[in-house]
């Protein structure tokens, strides 16, 4: 019995040793598999501090350089709307028609007045011709002493009255023409046409509406020529000048662009303590109403700039891959500042002289060895 127990004990010990030996071997294999991966084909750059432009960011709205607000000039009813919001129109295109019976009747009456004045002028000219012929005949008869001097004076007076009649008829015709032109102009207010080529925006009329003088109908904005209008703090007065080049960022437009200050209104608003600056834009894909930011340079400061390609964005978190002395990559969160072209200002999270991965960041994993 003791021999059997001893044999069983030896067998269990041998089994435990075999299992222990096997586990040790697997642990070594797992350790080998757990070695840090090696990453190749990435670019590593040492961060160096330097002078960074100190920029002040002013926000505003994109607007068309030229726009026309079309408003009603007479009380009328809308009879037709021939365009839609966002439609491109040529200069002079008919946009809408109105109906105003009083204006139409006035124009018709003025035209009839012109016709009446023309007939009056024709009659006056005919009377003058008769007076001229009669005067010439009596002048010859007077020389022949066939008529008295009094009879001749009567014909001369008739001729002078006929001349005055022609002048009065011509004046009445000119007056009638001006009245007709004025009435025609008023009647023309029933036709709403585009004063410039552009895009229809802010259409505020429909068929059947009654409009009144001064009521806005629609806006036509010139396409392709836009400005960013921003409110800059009064502390920048004298530092922002016409013709100055500034960096501009427009929401919805991926690429940052440059603009040129076109106008500066030096009178500051007493409530907001800001003044208006208009910046001409030259980029594409810009539309009126977009939100934009203009960056005005107010000097320089010490800071760190890194290529934008080095940033790893995950939601609201921004980080970079920092490579230590052993060439091991570690992810580190950073706080960013202004964007300067293809460079990004780093406010915190990096120190001068540290090395970061600037290209091939998608290949890097935490703890990877960079070669």
47 assigned to some structural domain: yes
pLDDT at 279 (0 to 100): 93
Residues above pLDDT 70, as percent of the chain? 90
pLDDT at 187 (0 to 100): 72
For residues 296 and 307, membership in a common domain is answered with no
pLDDT band for position 21 (cuts 50, 70, 90): very low
The pLDDT of residue 23 is above 60: no
**Which has the minimum average pLDDT: 19-33, 136-150, 194-208, 261-275?**
19-33
46 assigned to some structural domain: yes
For residues 283 and 362, membership in a common domain is answered with no
314 assigned to some structural domain: yes
pLDDT band for position 11 (cuts 50, 70, 90): very low
Average pLDDT, integer, range 110-139: 86
The pLDDT of residue 278 is above 90: yes
Average pLDDT, integer, range 56-71: 90
Q: Give the number of domains in the chain.
A: 3
For residues 164 and 105, membership in a common domain is answered with yes
For residues 324 and 340, membership in a common domain is answered with yes
Average pLDDT, integer, range 168-184: 83
13 assigned to some structural domain: no
What is the rounded CA–CA span in Å between residue 8 and residue 1? 11
CATH number at residue 356: 2.40.420.20
Q: Centre a 10 Å sphere on the Cβ of residue 259 and count the other Cβ atoms it contains.
A: 23
Q: Which of 244, 277, 300 is where one domain is finished?
A: 300
CATH number at residue 261: 2.40.30.170
What is the rounded CA–CA span in Å between residue 65 and residue 58? 19
Contact 36, 327 (CB under 8 A): no
Average pLDDT, integer, range 135-145: 85
For residues 242 and 310, membership in a common domain is answered with no
For residues 290 and 243, membership in a common domain is answered with yes
| Terminal CA-CA length for the chain | 67
Mean pLDDT of the chain: 82
239 assigned to some structural domain: yes
- State the residue range of the domain holding 322: 39-51+302-370
The pLDDT of residue 34 is above 60: no
For residues 309 and 295, membership in a common domain is answered with no
Give the strands of the sheet with 94-99, arranged side by side: 191-193, 94-99, 76-81, 210-211
98 assigned to some structural domain: yes
Average pLDDT, integer, range 278-297: 86
120 assigned to some structural domain: yes
What is the rounded CA–CA span in Å between residue 188 and residue 186? 5
pLDDT band for position 8 (cuts 50, 70, 90): very low
pLDDT band for position 37 (cuts 50, 70, 90): confident
73 assigned to some structural domain: no
pLDDT tens digits along 248-265: 888 877 777 888 999 999
For residues 227 and 277, membership in a common domain is answered with yes
The pLDDT of residue 86 is above 70: yes
The pLDDT of residue 185 is above 50: yes
pLDDT band for position 155 (cuts 50, 70, 90): confident
For residues 100 and 185, membership in a common domain is answered with yes
Residue 307 — φ and ψ, nearest 5°?
-60, 140
pLDDT tens digits along 295-309: 888 777 888 888 888
Q: Which of 258, 282, 300 is where one domain is finished?
A: 300
Q: Which of 300, 320, 354 is where one domain is finished?
A: 300
Average pLDDT, integer, range 346-358: 88
What is the rounded CA–CA span in Å between residue 220 and residue 199? 5
What is the rounded CA–CA span in Å between residue 179 and residue 114? 9
Give the strands of the sheet with 88-89, arranged side by side: 67-71, 216-221, 198-201, 88-89
For residues 187 and 82, membership in a common domain is answered with yes
The pLDDT of residue 152 is above 60: yes
Q: Centre a 10 Å sphere on the Cβ of residue 169 and count the other Cβ atoms it contains.
A: 21
pLDDT band for position 51 (cuts 50, 70, 90): confident
């Amino acid at each position: 019995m003791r021999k059997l127990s001893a044999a069983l004990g030896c067998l269990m010990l041998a089994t435990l040793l075999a299992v222990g030996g096997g586990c040790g071997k697997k642990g070594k294999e797992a350790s080998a598999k757990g070695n840090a991966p090696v990453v190749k084909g990435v670019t590593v750059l040492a961060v160096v501090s330097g002078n960074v432009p100190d920029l002040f960011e002013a926000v505003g709205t994109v607007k068309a350089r030229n726009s026309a607000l079309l408003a009603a000039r007479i009380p009328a009813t809308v009879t037709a709307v021939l365009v839609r919001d966002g439609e491109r129109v040529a200069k002079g295109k008919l946009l809408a028609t109105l109906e105003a019976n009083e204006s139409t009747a006035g124009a018709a009456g003025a035209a009839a007045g012109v016709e009446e004045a023309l007939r009056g002028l024709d009659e006056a000219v005919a009377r003058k011709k008769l007076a001229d012929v009669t005067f010439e005949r009596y002048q010859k008869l007077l020389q022949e002493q066939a008529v008295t001097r009094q009879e001749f004076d009567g014909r001369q007076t008739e001729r002078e009255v006929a001349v005055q009649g022609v002048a009065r008829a011509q004046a009445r015709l000119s007056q009638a023409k001006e009245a007709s032109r004025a009435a025609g102009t008023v009647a023309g207010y029933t036709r709403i046409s585009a004063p410039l080529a552009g895009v229809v925006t802010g259409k505020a009329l429909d068929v059947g509406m009654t409009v009144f003088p001064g009521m806005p109908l629609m806006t036509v904005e010139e396409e392709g020529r836009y400005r960013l209008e921003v409110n800059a703090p009064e502390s920048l007065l004298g530092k922002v000048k016409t013709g100055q080049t500034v960096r501009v960022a427009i929401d919805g437009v991926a690429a940052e662009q440059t603009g040129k200050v076109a106008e500066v209104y030096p009178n500051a608003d007493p409530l907001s303590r800001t003044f208006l600056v208009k910046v001409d834009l030259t980029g594409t894909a810009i539309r009126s109403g977009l939100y934009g930011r203009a960056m005005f340079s107010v000097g320089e400061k010490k800071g760190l700039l890194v290529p934008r390609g080095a940033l790893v964005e995950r939601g609201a978190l921004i980080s970079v891959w920092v490579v230590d002395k052993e060439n091991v990559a570690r992810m580190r969160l950073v706080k960013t500042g202004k964007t300067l072209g293809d460079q990004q200002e780093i406010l915190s999270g990096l120190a001068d002289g540290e090395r970061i991965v600037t290209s091939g960041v998608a290949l890097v994993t935490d703890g990877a060895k960079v070669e």
